[in-house]
């Protein structure tokens, strides 16, 4: 089921041409593209994962994209964070990413948000969007985003990458059988990964995960195919093996059990 009803507004000739390769797909068509152009997506973090995720969402015509990141661009980011350039070094990641996206697709609205998100700010921000894409790189933010998405019943597309290993899943609190992030990665367990500045990161892996996050987000908006709800997709870039495991909602989860 799509998140949004198709917009009644007609797409302009230029817009039809821009998205013609989407519109040719039976699963999308004009109605699906109208849903995309009416959608509002929050991308948390515009680094290694957020760059490709935001870029493909923008190219696909998502009507409004909020880019939340409090960090600034550094030289070491340019190995994988493809929205930023040498000219961006020292500037806000959110503003740098917004500038790159607008240069590619000036039709959409891009909102750079230069602030460290916390649970209070997320409570006002998340409900203004149709999907949240978590591209953050720390355990605390992931759990804060998850709690607010559960409370707001907003789908969450979650991705992570470290060294050569990546993972991707979708949490949809609108459905009774969907786990939440806390069901799988309990906040009580200390499983925070060291930062990539210590462990390293394979650059193309962030592109793979971020692109898949964009794909899952578009599928949710259109109501197409089967989302990764209740499945955790794990990728080993050393062997390029994709493994999918079933995940289940924890009946006593302290985050989502009482929200059903």
Per-residue pLDDT of 240-253, as tens digits, reads 999 999 999 999 99
Domain range for 159: 40-259
- Token duo for residue 116: 């460290």
pTM, two decimal places:
0.94
Asked whether residue 16 is assigned to any structural domain, the reply reads no
Q: How far is 117 from 104, CA to CA, in rounded Å?
A: 27
Per-residue pLDDT of 139-190, as tens digits, reads 999 999 999 999 999 999 999 999 999 999 999 999 989 999 999 998 876 5
Asked whether residue 35 is assigned to any structural domain, the reply reads no
- Token duo for residue 79: 């190995």
**H/E run at residue 39:** none
Asked whether residue 18 is assigned to any structural domain, the reply reads no
Asked whether residue 31 is assigned to any structural domain, the reply reads no
CA nearest neighbour of 53 among 65, 40, 35: 65
- CATH number, domain of 249, equals 3.40.50.720
Report the number of distinct structural domains present in the chain. 1
Mean pLDDT of the region 30-41 = 97
- Token duo for residue 239: 């062997």
Is residue 15 within 8 A of residue 37, CB to CB? The reply is yes
Asked whether residue 44 is assigned to any structural domain, the reply reads yes
CA nearest neighbour of 191 among 254, 236, 135, 140: 140
Task: Tell whether the model's pLDDT for residue 49 goes beyond 80.
Answer: yes
Asked whether residue 10 is assigned to any structural domain, the reply reads no
Place of tokens 């600034």: 72
Asked whether residue 8 is assigned to any structural domain, the reply reads no
């Amino acid at each position: 089921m799509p998140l949004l009803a198709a917009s009644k507004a007609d797409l302009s000739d230029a817009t039809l041409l821009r998205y013609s390769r989407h519109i040719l797909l039976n699963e999308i068509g004009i109605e699906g593209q109208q849903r995309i152009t009416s959608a509002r997506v929050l991308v948390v973090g515009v680094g290694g994962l957020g760059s490709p995720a935001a870029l493909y969402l923008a190219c696909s015509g998502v009507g409004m994209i909020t880019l939340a990141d409090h960090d600034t661009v550094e030289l070491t980011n340019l190995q994988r964070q493809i929205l930023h350039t040498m000219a961006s070094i020292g500037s806000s990641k959110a503003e740098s990413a917004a500038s790159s996206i607008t240069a590619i697709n000036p039709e959409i609205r891009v909102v750079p948000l230069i602030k460290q998100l916390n649970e209070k700010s997320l409570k006002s921000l998340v409900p203004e969007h149709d999907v949240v894409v978590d591209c953050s790189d720390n355990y605390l933010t992931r759990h804060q985003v998850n709690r607010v998405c559960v409370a707001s019943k907003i789908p969450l597309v979650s991705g992570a990458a470290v060294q050569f290993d990546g993972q991707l899943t979708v949490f949809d609190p609108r459905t009774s059988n969907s786990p939440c992030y806390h069901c799988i990665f309990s906040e009580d367990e200390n499983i925070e990964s060291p930062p990539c500045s210590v462990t390293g990161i394979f650059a193309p892996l962030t592109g793979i995960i971020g692109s898949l996050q964009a794909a899952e987000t578009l599928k949710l908006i259109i109501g197409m195919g089967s989302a990764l709800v209740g499945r955790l997709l794990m990728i080993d870039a050393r062997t390029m093996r994709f493994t999918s495991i079933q995940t289940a909602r924890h009946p006593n989860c302290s985050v989502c059990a009482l929200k059903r």
